[in-house]
């Protein structure tokens, strides 16, 4: 869903953001002018979206800026960006959303597509609300997406009180542990649209089984590595579930996302609420498990990445964002005899990890400032 073209007042042809000269004569100088012009209001610059917005009859002002070396076109309104997301959906993606709505309504729940929160931080493909007030978000992701964005959307949904169920038919995406992916087979569009077609979830759903660590437990204790502890140890096994049945059961609260620690590894998946409750009761005296997330590396923008996005408004020139408070490390006060006073005007000595103020280095534990390594007493 790349936003490749924009339109500028006074030009008959569209401007191509993927070309250094925008595809027009004198485009290089024009691009620099567009990037540097911040004096006129956005609506008077004459730059508009020439992609989905124009095709649907909307005139949406835009601005351009550079991000990771690539020229990006930015909308100033969220609803304008929403048109690009809905316009870039595949037929399979739309069919999965329709099927999730139909399955939820057949189970007595209410469901709506592309529902946004009041602050517009969360927009679910399908938002399902049960009679008990349970909010389940269904997210179908069939094309590759940056894991950082997936994780950010999942965290934002949790803050809004929505539990997201992420579905994909890609095995490569299902291997990522950013969210517990519900993997389906890659099936044709006709099978997704067919009401009674069997589309089971092959991954993402597991059953939890508990075993008593006593003389009947095979092998040593998984925690102590020796003997028996007398507690309960969980094991998991995969469990398939049909698409429609899972949507109805998850909206009813019969399934929940759980983080379970098996031996020394914790991971997240969907499981029956009864299994999760039994696991929590058996491990009530232990600290809650925390699933390890892979470290996401920020990758550069590539061709095909969405360049039409909402850019947050810049702060006024007279306002600057406050720097985060970083507490200084605890310094052990040395004896007065070993700490000579600093002489004003003497540049500090570059002394890694220790204060370099004074004729002789102070030597106290220090942190690095623009003036060098300085302790709490000699810091600027």
Model pLDDT for residues 31-64, shown as the tens digit of each residue: 888 887 766 777 777 888 888 777 777 777 888 8
Distance from C-alpha of 267 to C-alpha of 257, rounded to nearest angstrom: 10
Model pLDDT, residue 124: 86
Below-50 pLDDT ranges, the chain? 1-2, 297-307, 310-351
pLDDT for the residue 88: 57
Predicted pLDDT at 313 = 42
Closest CA to 165 of 134, 207, 194: 134
Q: Residue 274's pLDDT is what?
A: 93
> Which residue has 């949507």 as its token pair?
247
Q: What are the Cα distances from residue 260, in Å, to 171, 215, 237, 280, 282?
A: 22, 24, 12, 9, 12
Q: What is the pLDDT of residue 251?
A: 93
Beta-carbon contacts of residue 245 (< 8 Å; ≥ 6 apart): none
- Cβ burial of 49 (10 Å; 0-12, 13-18, 19+) is buried
The residues, ordered by sequence, that sit 6+ positions from 225 with a Cβ below 8 Å of its Cβ are none
Instruction: Decide: pTM greater than 0.75.
Output: no
Choose among 91, 108, 107: nearest CA to 192: 91
DSSP code of residue 295: P
Q: How far is CA 295 from the centre of its chain?
A: 12
């Amino acid at each position: 869903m790349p936003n490749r073209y924009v339109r500028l007042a006074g030009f008959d042809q569209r401007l191509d953001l993927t070309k250094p000269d925008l595809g027009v004569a004198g485009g290089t100088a024009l691009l620099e002018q567009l990037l540097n012009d911040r004096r006129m209001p956005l609506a008077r610059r004459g730059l508009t979206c020439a992609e989905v917005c124009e095709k649907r009859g909307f005139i949406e002002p835009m601005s351009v800026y550079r991000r990771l070396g690539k020229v990006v076109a930015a909308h100033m309104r969220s609803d304008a960006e929403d048109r690009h997301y809905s316009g870039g959906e595949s037929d399979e993606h739309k069919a999965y959303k329709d099927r999730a709505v139909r399955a939820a309504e057949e189970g007595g729940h209410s469901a709506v597509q592309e529902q946004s929160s009041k602050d517009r931080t969360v927009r679910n493909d399908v938002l399902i609300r049960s009679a008990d007030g349970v909010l389940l978000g269904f997210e179908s992701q069939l094309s590759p997406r940056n894991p950082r964005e997936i994780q950010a959307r999942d965290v934002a949904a949790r803050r809004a009180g929505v539990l997201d169920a992420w579905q994909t038919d890609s095995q490569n995406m299902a291997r990522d542990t950013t969210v517990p992916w519900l993997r389906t087979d890659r099936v044709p569009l006709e099978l997704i649209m067919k009401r009674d077609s069997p589309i089971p979830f092959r991954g993402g759903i597991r059953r939890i089984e508990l075993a008593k660590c006593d003389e009947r437990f095979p092998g040593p204790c998984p925690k102590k590595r020796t003997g028996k502890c007398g507690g309960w140890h969980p094991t998991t096994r995969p469990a398939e579930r049909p698409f429609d049945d899972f949507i109805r059961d998850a909206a009813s609260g019969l399934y929940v996302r759980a983080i379970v620690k098996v031996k020394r590894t914790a991971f997240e998946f969907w499981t029956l609420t009864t299994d999760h409750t039994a696991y929590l009761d058996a491990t009530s005296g232990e600290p809650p498990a925390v699933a390890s997330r892979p470290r996401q590396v920020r990758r550069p923008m590539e061709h095909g990445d969405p360049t039409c996005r909402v850019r947050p408004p810049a702060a006024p020139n007279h306002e600057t964002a406050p720097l985060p408070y970083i507490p200084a490390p605890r310094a052990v006060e040395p004896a007065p005899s070993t700490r000579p006073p600093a002489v004003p005007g003497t540049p500090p000595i570059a002394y890694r990890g220790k204060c370099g103020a004074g004729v002789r280095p102070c030597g106290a534990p220090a942190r690095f400032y623009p003036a060098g390594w300085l302790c709490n007493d000699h810091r600027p």
